[in-house]
Structure 1
Amino acid sequence: MTRRRLILLAAIVLVVAIYFLSGAHDVLTLANLQAEQSRFQAWLAAEPLTVAGGFFLLYVMMAAVSLPGATLLTVLGGALFGFGWGLVLISFASTLGATLAALIARTLAREPLERRFAVQLRRINAGIEREGAFYLFTLRLIPLFPFFVINLVMGLTRMRLWTFYWVSQLGMLPGTAVFVNAGRELGELESLGGVLSPGLIGSFALIGLFPWLARGLVALGKRRQLARRFDRPRHFDHDIVVIGAGSAGLVASYIASAVKAKVALVERDQMGGDCLNTGCVPSKALIRASRLASDIRDAERFGIRAGEPQVDFAAVMGHVHRAVREVAPHDSRERYEGLGVEVIGGQAHLDDPWRVRVGERVLTTRHVIIASGAKPRVPPLPGLESIEVLTSDNLWQLEHLPQRLTVLGGGPIGCELGQSFARLGSRVTLIEMGEQLLPREDHDVAAQVEARLIEEDVVVRTGTRALRVVTDTEGGHGLEVQAAEAGESPCETLPFDRLLVAVGRQANVKGLGLEALGVETRADGTLAVDESLQSVLPNVWACGDVTGPYQLTHASAHQAWHATVNALFGEFKRFRVSYRALPAVTFTDPEVARVGLNENEARREGTEVEVTRYELGELDRAIAEGQTRGFIKVLTVPGKDRILGATIVGHGAGEMLAEFTLAMTQGIGLNKLLGTIHPYPTFSEAVKATAGSWKNAHKPERVLGWLARYFAWRRGETRHDDTTGR
């Protein structure tokens, strides 16, 4: 604790001690105020400024350190100064004292709490920034909530003190007026409970509900204004029109049809979107084929001599396309029409918030869910227009294995595909402008992947910037690169046969008519929505890659549930999307799987964490399988077993991650994971072993010492003092 905090805390303790040791808490009773009322009046008549100023300062001090008695002072203020002056003095004194109390709480406790609970407080502060003034005003209007508690809690948030001040000034005014008015009749007042009768409390509660009612009326007004602007239809063809039949759009359509809403699903290209046709399914089929080639090369260490595998690339791509065809029925038009969804082919365009045009047909709908996905981003690199660029979209049309493949981008897609092509026989060069591969992961995690790629003869160039594509006189191509931070360092040309660009994805928002309707996009091009996935238009929602922030199939499905339920039932209950326990897997070898925080994020957010690490080289099953590369790293609250995040590097990391994801979602700590029986020998035992490592680091040494003495006593041994010999 800093010196400033210690001084402040000491001062508060001193004031509180003086208050109670002096007997002030016994003096500030209703009976004493009534008995001394005439004396107070005489004192005020003799020295009005002294009494008024002293009363003001005393009130501010008591409110600032949250001492009991402020209510009685309010009543006394009404008796002394009358309703008008009493209300003015007490209103400003109480607000100033409340603001000081919030400032004290902020100074003493906010920074330590933010370090320890950064993730939770970040969401709270986001809500405070958005609607904090509204909630504070509501709480101030209802005297059921102790004001000193509100002062302290709000002080721990990131609400601006000026906002806290003026909202409190207005919100506390009705309650202050009631008590000041009661003070005018101090002699007839039998108890403070009589000031706030059940009827009066009910009236305050109704006043407190007024802002909620007002907000509902404002929302209704916005909808009516929208209706006047765009001519809202009297009747609708559909409850929801979903634009895009990728993972997000399919899940949204499925959920809406399951609750018997009338749904139309519009897709301009292929059912299943990127995941089925150009992403998850084909890439994992390719990774499987490349892993088999790697296993054949590695077979000799298990006593199997197979030699160098003969790769038939056309047959490999045949396997990839076959996997897509076999999964396709799960996402087909026939399946969804069988579920009651109307599937429409074509480009969707929003004429207004309720009318979606597809060709010559106009669909009217109560809600629109935009799930139009994303496409690979191609940077404006000079010379790129002179070649046919490979991306994760068109890669699957390759008929011949590239002899020299340069991959631009060291994120998950670049690493997965680069390793796969290297295993199939391409000479791969991987270019990443950042300091490490997999920029979102911890350095030790990325280092494991980089080491494996280098072992497999992938040329890894981190900290390298691509400048331009060049063509030589014989028609060959090369990528001119330079060290990213080197300034005047020399350029180098890396020859290639094909260039694969994997530098990220950009949202598909063009052609939907959103700009004309005022639907905003963020700086990265994704659609701007709130935590319930609602856009600036009350009936237009978005989910999946088109809005981010995580371009993952399961993240899209997670969002789709929220967007659909909020659209259909948001008048009754809204659900905010939480990404706290969102898992992600990079399917390299070794796999990288993560849920929650990693060390980089914790450090960046200022969150204090405890790190427990378990090496897979210690796991029996990993030793037997020859898959000892990698580790498990779990972040917990210091001294506690609550999981803040887990990262796994190694064989089957994505499968092992599910147990940590479940634990975080359901609030299960490492102690309970340790107490769960895991089958032997399995990779899942590594989860239990990690929990055991945490437990071993927190074993109660003092209790164990006592137990050692107890068992020695039970064995009949006599303990001797080492120094005296007794």
Structure 2
Amino acid sequence: MSDFITPDVDPAAADRTVDVAVIGAGHAGLNALKEVQRITDNYVLINGGPLGTTCARVGCMPSKVAIQIAHTFRQRHKYDRYGIKGAEHLQVDIQNALAYVREMRDTFVDLILANTTDDMEETFIDGYAAFLSPERLQVGRQIIAARRVIIATGSRPVIPKAWSGFQERIITTDDLFDSHDLPKRIAVIGLGPIGIEIGQALAHLGVDVIGFDESATVARVPDPVVNRLVVETIGRDFPLVLGQPIAITETGDGLRIFAGGCETHVDKIVACVGRTPNLEHLHLERLGVPLDSWGVPVFNPNTMQIGPLPVFIAGDATGAATLQAAMEDGRIAGYNAVHNPIVPFRRKTPMTVLFTDPNIAMIGRKWTELDESAMIVGQVRFGPVGRTMILGNNRGILRVYAERATGRVLGAAMIGVGAEHIAHLLAWGIEADKTVFELSQMPFYHPVIEEALQDVLLDLAHRLKGEREDAFHLPMLGTVRHQYTPEWII
């Protein structure tokens, strides 16, 4: 046994004593386990329910396969303009398309299992864990004493109680990708990132889709300028009803939905109104710490520790909802579970990417988190960017937020083709604490979508230098530093 923790658990009262017990074999749990395995081989991974991670089974991966099929089919609308004839005869076989989604889903799941739980043997326990105390777990008839515990039990879709009378007409993201066919008319309720992606993909595949959200924002984009263009752009693919209370009643052959002045009839609804942590089996009340309104124990987001306990929490179980956050949570929780003292970590620059057509992305600090008087906003439309015109997809806007006093890039929001790549460049720049001046000096090729980023950075740099010439001591705009010759101007 390693000496990272004082062994204060009574092994005599347990069937098994381990250094660390990880509860949940999703991305958060598996990443926590990697950190644990660096220090000790005395651990268990406990998992109740299906294996394979939310991302691989019902989330990121199968949804992106469906989105890719939908995007490919939609391209037929451009063929005649390109001189490619016969597009009007193309059809999508929904059953075959869904079979391909399931095939790819199974492949992703198999890859994860082959590299994780398939070879774990006695270190893997199939079952639901419950706390007896902070250092004692029960799984079936087995009692496990664990010096440290990591909770990574994931989440599941929320289905409002008011919908309990017509659950057979509700599709969730947890069962959508098991479908063998799709109804003709679908309402997507909840237009956050998941709802927008699914709604647009289904519409592109020929399903009659209508979207509803009681919020006036779509995809959780707080920037009002970007949100307007998101609503306008996505609204071209399927109608959006926003900012109105939603009421649903069952009819003989479907559901009738009322929202404001809108009334529509659909066969089924896709519920995208959020996810709730899977914590009900754990008996967290036995930990003796406060729980929030979702039943999540109060924890430190920089250490992932729950109060002063030898218990950590990670991933969707915390209420977070992205794979990259789950992975980061897991690594922090896993590291701290096998080290003393417990170390706080600085969190990485947040980033959200939607694989809509065109992409939607948010990076760094959000519009609502910033002081407008202390920042300057750069904006560029994708319309005149040569590469986007060539792709036939030049509808979009990029807005970058910079600190007025220093020129540091703080955040950004955008909708546009290739935004998934621009988002990463900006996230790396923010993570490295770069200014618009420094980023504007980076190399850019032509013709590429990234020229939109170059334009907005140069615009911000010029405007900031005009405001505070005395505040910046940086290379002249347009300057190149050559490794052999003195500075020269292009």
Q: State the shift of 1:386 in Å.
A: 5.7
Deviations 1:91-117 (A, max 9, x none): xxxxxxxxxxxxxxxxxxxxxxxxxxx
What SS does the aligned partner of 2:102 have?
helix
Matched, 1:240 2:240: no
1:546 equivalent in structure 2: 317
Structure 2 unaligned segments of length 5 or more: list them. 470-490
Q: State the shift of 1:234 in Å.
A: 9.1
Distance 1:495 1:702, change over 3 A: closer
> Which of these residues, 286, 296, 306, is aligned with residue 535 of structure 1?
306
> Which of these residues, 687, 691, 697, is aligned with residue 457 of structure 2?
691
Deviations 1:243-272 (A, max 9, x none): 111110111112211334433111112323
In the alignment, residue 191 of structure 2 is paired with which amino acid?
G
Distance 1:339 1:691, change over 3 A: farther
> Which of these residues, 11, 19, 43, is aligned with residue 263 of structure 1?
43
In the alignment, residue 441 of structure 2 is paired with which amino acid?
G
Contact 1:583 1:661 in 2 (8 A): yes
Q: Which one scores higher on RCO, CA 8 angstroms, separation ≥ 6? A: 2
> Which of these residues, 348, 359, 365, is aligned with residue 129 of structure 2?
348
What SS does the aligned partner of 1:317 have?
helix
Q: How many percent of aligned residue pairs carry the same amino acid?
A: 26
Distance 1:334 1:435, change over 3 A: closer
1:578 equivalent in structure 2: 347
Matched, 1:563 2:333: yes
> Which of these residues, 624, 636, 650, is aligned with residue 416 of structure 2?
650
Matched, 1:677 2:443: yes
Write the distance in 1 (CA, Å) between the matches of 2:160 and 2:140: 32
Q: State the shift of 1:517 in Å.
A: 2.6
> Which of these residues, 275, 283, 290, is aligned with residue 55 of structure 2?
275
1:640 equivalent in structure 2: 406
Matched, 1:594 2:371: no
In the alignment, residue 680 of structure 1 is paired with which amino acid?
H
RMSD (CA atoms): 2.6
Distance 1:358 1:496, change over 3 A: same
Distance 1:233 1:530, change over 3 A: farther
1:661 equivalent in structure 2: 427
Write the distance in 1 (CA, Å) between the matches of 2:467 and 2:29: 55
In the alignment, residue 618 of structure 1 is paired with which amino acid?
P
Counterparts of 1:292-307 in structure 2 under 5 Å?
A: 292-305=72-85, 306-307=87-88
In the alignment, residue 478 of structure 1 is paired with which amino acid?
L
Matched, 1:611 2:377: yes
Contact 2:169 2:267 in 1 (8 A): no
Q: State the shift of 1:231 in Å.
A: 5.8
1:401 equivalent in structure 2: 182
Contact 2:183 2:268 in 1 (8 A): yes
Contact 2:156 2:277 in 1 (8 A): yes
Write the distance in 2 (CA, Å) between the matches of 1:702 and 1:285: 48
What SS does the aligned partner of 2:374 have?
coil
What SS does the aligned partner of 1:468 have?
strand
Contact 1:257 1:340 in 2 (8 A): no
Contact 1:329 1:335 in 2 (8 A): no
Write the distance in 1 (CA, Å) between the matches of 2:111 and 2:412: 32
> Which of these residues, 425, 429, 438, is aligned with residue 219 of structure 2?
438
Matched, 1:502 2:272: yes
1:454 equivalent in structure 2: 235
1:621 equivalent in structure 2: 387
Contact 2:255 2:268 in 1 (8 A): no
In the alignment, residue 410 of structure 2 is paired with which amino acid?
L
Distance 1:261 1:634, change over 3 A: farther
What SS does the aligned partner of 1:368 have?
strand
Deviations 1:572-593 (A, max 9, x none): 35124525x1111122122111
What SS does the aligned partner of 1:660 have?
helix
Structure 1 unaligned segments of length 5 or more: list them. 1-219, 484-489, 704-726
Write the distance in 1 (CA, Å) between the matches of 2:164 and 2:239: 23
Ranges of 4+ aligned residues in structure 1 off by more than 6 Å: 232-236
Matched, 1:375 2:156: yes
The number of residues matched between the two structures is 462
Write the distance in 2 (CA, Å) between the matches of 1:272 and 1:652: 29
Write the distance in 2 (CA, Å) between the matches of 1:404 and 1:627: 27
Deviations 1:660-691 (A, max 9, x none): 11111111222121111123222233322221
> Which of these residues, 419, 428, 450, is aligned with residue 200 of structure 2?
419
Contact 1:371 1:543 in 2 (8 A): yes
Contact 2:374 2:405 in 1 (8 A): no
What SS does the aligned partner of 2:449 have?
coil
1:522 equivalent in structure 2: 292
Write the distance in 2 (CA, Å) between the matches of 1:495 and 1:278: 27
Q: State the shift of 1:499 in Å.
A: 1.0
Larger Rg belongs to: 1
Contact 1:634 1:645 in 2 (8 A): yes
Select the structure that is richer in helix: 1
What SS does the aligned partner of 1:495 have?
strand
Distance 1:467 1:687, change over 3 A: same
Write the distance in 2 (CA, Å) between the matches of 1:702 and 1:342: 61
Write the distance in 1 (CA, Å) between the matches of 2:198 and 2:68: 11
Deviations 1:369-412 (A, max 9, x none): 00001110111225643633111111112222211001111111
What SS does the aligned partner of 2:235 have?
helix
In the alignment, residue 243 of structure 1 is paired with which amino acid?
I
Contact 1:620 1:681 in 2 (8 A): yes
Q: State the shift of 1:444 in Å.
A: 2.2
In the alignment, residue 516 of structure 1 is paired with which amino acid?
R
Write the distance in 2 (CA, Å) between the matches of 1:510 and 1:241: 18
Distance 1:353 1:232, change over 3 A: farther
Distance 1:594 1:382, change over 3 A: closer
1:482 equivalent in structure 2: 259
In the alignment, residue 30 of structure 2 is paired with which amino acid?
L
In the alignment, residue 273 of structure 2 is paired with which amino acid?
V
Write the distance in 1 (CA, Å) between the matches of 2:43 and 2:419: 38
Contact 1:610 1:639 in 2 (8 A): no
Q: State the shift of 1:607 in Å.
A: 6.8
Distance 1:335 1:289, change over 3 A: same
Select the structure that is richer in strand: 2
> Which of these residues, 87, 98, 108, is aligned with residue 317 of structure 1?
98
**TM-score scaled to structure 1, two decimals?**
0.60
Contact 1:296 1:308 in 2 (8 A): no
Counterparts of 1:21-32 in structure 2 under 5 Å?
A: none
Write the distance in 2 (CA, Å) between the matches of 1:638 and 1:523: 38
Distance 1:386 1:257, change over 3 A: closer
Distance 1:448 1:233, change over 3 A: farther
Write the distance in 2 (CA, Å) between the matches of 1:607 and 1:343: 54
In the alignment, residue 460 of structure 2 is paired with which amino acid?
W
Write the distance in 1 (CA, Å) between the matches of 2:168 and 2:102: 25
